[in-house]
Amino acid sequence: MDFSQRLQQISANPDALTQIGRGLEREALRMTPQGDLSAQPHPAGLGSALTNKWVTTDFAESLLEFITPVSHDVDSLLTQLSDIHQFTYSKLDQESLWPMSMPCFVGKEDDITLAQYGSSNSGRMKTLYREGLKHRYGSVMQVISGVHFNFSFPDEFWQQLFGDQAEQERRDSVSDAYFGLIRNYYRFGWLIPYLFGASPALCGSFLNKSASALNFEKVGCGTYFLPNATALRLSDLGYTNHEQSSLKIGFNSLDQYLEGLQKAIRTPSEEFASIGVKVDGEYRQLNTNVLQIENELYAPIRPKRVAADGEKPSEALSRGGVEYIEVRSLDVNPFSPIGITADQVRFLDLFLTWAVLSPSDQMDDAELECWRDNWNRVVLDGRNPELLLKIGCNGERLTVQKWGQRVFAELEQVALAMDAAAGNDSYQQTILRLKKWIDDPELTLSARLLNQIKQQEGIGRVGLELANAHAGEIKDRDFAFYSQQEFEQEVEASRIRQAQIEQNDSQSFDEFLDDYFADLK
């Protein structure tokens, strides 16, 4: 069946399109009133960063991460995220949240304190993993922020698509379908940084610590930009790992993916071996392999399954197949106080549904590199109206606008189906607004942000102004999904959970690591 036939088949059951599962993870640096990186530890009023289900930290003490539960309604999802922000602001004293993906001014690498998770073996391992990232790539690169979008189709969707199946057959069919989606994401996902990339410029304090041959222009005292860039966060300046470039992790099946991932966490690295693991009695990293653990794999999208206690991500996938996918290529939206908007969520709904219903041929390493090259072109020069993208590896080229219009023509069909299922026109309105962005690159987030940076002669001024505006907007609202009491109860419960984890440890840290990595030996 082709795309339109599959869409018609799915649309026969409205629940297939209205019960999509979504979750958000938004990262944000805490900053001082002067616009500098906060040097304060994780606010005590937010509870345990190890166990709080809504507010934790990512790489650094100053890098907050907000996590929503799974929601089946776009407005509820964003309201939950807004409430989490509101509670967090009540514990930040005079600090606010940096509103962009690329970090604010960072003086020295050592100004960035690694995230701390207490004295338990699992907490110490999380910090040691970050110590390894610091030695491998530098701390500044690790405080780049993003928004991760977790997405799953409901059982009704798969029932409409595949009909009745035995449990294992359904599990295999779902995993294969998600990997088809992932392959199409690599083929066409450059639309996401084109539309929503919001890192066309960066602070010179970051650039000075990053080797690059790019021809930056300068504005103000220390802001550097590329005229048509969309998402420098996704370029070689951002999340890169040159050791990973030689890895051949395929997306043609779950088995192929897991085989490649297992090879990566077992492949020694000469470069990382030179760092050492334990030097003068102090750990520097978890091990000297290309990946310390599976989470170190940098990818714009990941297949995922909720893991059981003590279970590694790959073990969970092997046990139960793909349960959902994690989109990792979203910049923080600087014009939203919570880093993302309803239009962005609805576009991702449309795009991911289109990607899973569209034909998705197997993809070899050469083709994957072609698509990655398209992504890089859009990241660095996406608003150039003359930019040409490859259509496969046969030499044919199309402009971003023409190719984008082709994709949007089919996204409009998905929007009609989703709106018919929900009884409104929300998705069609999203398409109408964003279609204008395809035709006019100046409407995109990156263009709007870069224009402000040029007008105000610096990323710092714009960031500080937006941060203050967002803080005011969040503080002026009322809780709409959760309550202050619920957040305070979670803070106290998180402290109790951390204390219990620490009390239950029965091994030394060395023994704990030996057991964790026993399968690698």
Task: Find tokens 């991500």 and name the residue.
Answer: 313
Cβ-contact 498, 492 below 8 angstroms: no
**CA quadruple 310, 316, 318, 322: dihedral, nearest 10:** -170
pLDDT of residue 91: 97
State the DSSP string of 409-467.
Answer: HHHHHHHHHHHHHHTS-HHHHHHHHHHHHHH-GGGSHHHHHHHHHHHHTSHHHHHHHHH
- Whether 446 has a pLDDT exceeding 50, the answer reads yes
For residue 93, is it left (φ>0), alpha (ψ between -120 and 50) or beta? left
Q: At residue 326, what is the residue type?
A: E
SS3 78: helix
Helix (H) or strand (E) holding 494: helix 484-504
Task: Find tokens 């041929």 and name the residue.
Answer: 361
Tell me what the mean pLDDT of segment 29-56 comes to: 96
pLDDT of residue 227: 96
Cβ-contact 185, 38 below 8 angstroms: no
Q: Which two tokens stand for residue 46?
A: 């937010």
Of residues 122, 136, 120, the one with CA closest to residue 284 = 136
DSSP tag of 235: S
- Whether 129 has a pLDDT exceeding 60, the answer reads yes
pLDDT of residue 484: 97
Each residue's pLDDT tens digit, 469-493? 999 999 999 999 999 999 999 999 9
* pTM as predicted: 0.96
Give bridge partners of residue 21 from the DSSP assignment: 152
Q: Which two tokens stand for residue 61?
A: 């003490």
Of residues 480, 487, 345, the one with CA closest to residue 53 = 487
- Whether 494 has a pLDDT exceeding 60, the answer reads yes
Cβ count near 93 (within 10 Å): 12
Instruction: Give the lowest-confidence range in 220-229, 245-254, 302-311.
Output: 245-254
Distance between CA atoms of 78 and 135, rounded to whole angstroms? Answer: 36
Distance between CA atoms of 328 and 24, rounded to whole angstroms? Answer: 10
pLDDT of residue 211: 45
Distance between CA atoms of 105 and 97, rounded to whole angstroms? Answer: 13
Of residues 4, 1, 480, 520, the one with CA closest to residue 267 = 520
Distance between CA atoms of 254 and 225, rounded to whole angstroms? Answer: 39
Distance between CA atoms of 326 and 306, rounded to whole angstroms? Answer: 12
Instruction: Give the lowest-confidence range in 68-77, 239-248, 324-333.
Output: 239-248
pLDDT band at 361 (very low <50, low <70, confident <90, very high): very high
Instruction: Give the lowest-confidence range in 197-211, 246-260, 489-503.
Output: 197-211
Of residues 369, 366, 393, 360, the one with CA closest to residue 252 = 360
Of residues 317, 279, 282, the one with CA closest to residue 297 = 317
From residue 421, alpha-carbon distances to 16, 20, 54 in Å are 9, 12, 31
Cβ-contact 68, 77 below 8 angstroms: yes
DSSP tag of 295: G
Distance between CA atoms of 288 and 447, rounded to whole angstroms? Answer: 41
pLDDT band at 393 (very low <50, low <70, confident <90, very high): confident
- Whether 88 has a pLDDT exceeding 90, the answer reads yes
- Whether 208 has a pLDDT exceeding 60, the answer reads no
pLDDT band at 241 (very low <50, low <70, confident <90, very high): low
Cβ-contact 443, 433 below 8 angstroms: no
Distance between CA atoms of 102 and 198, rounded to whole angstroms? Answer: 9
Q: Which two tokens stand for residue 209?
A: 């610590």
Distance between CA atoms of 115 and 227, rounded to whole angstroms? Answer: 35
Give bridge partners of residue 147 from the DSSP assignment: 26, 330
Tell me what the mean pLDDT of segment 422-446 comes to: 98
Instruction: Supply the CATH classification number for the domain 3-520.
Output: 3.30.590.20
**Burial track 382-410 (b if 16+ CB lie within 10 A, e otherwise):** bbbeebebbeeeeeeeeebeebbeebbeb
From residue 484, alpha-carbon distances to 53, 84, 91, 160, 490 in Å are 15, 10, 12, 41, 10
Average pLDDT over the chain reads: 94
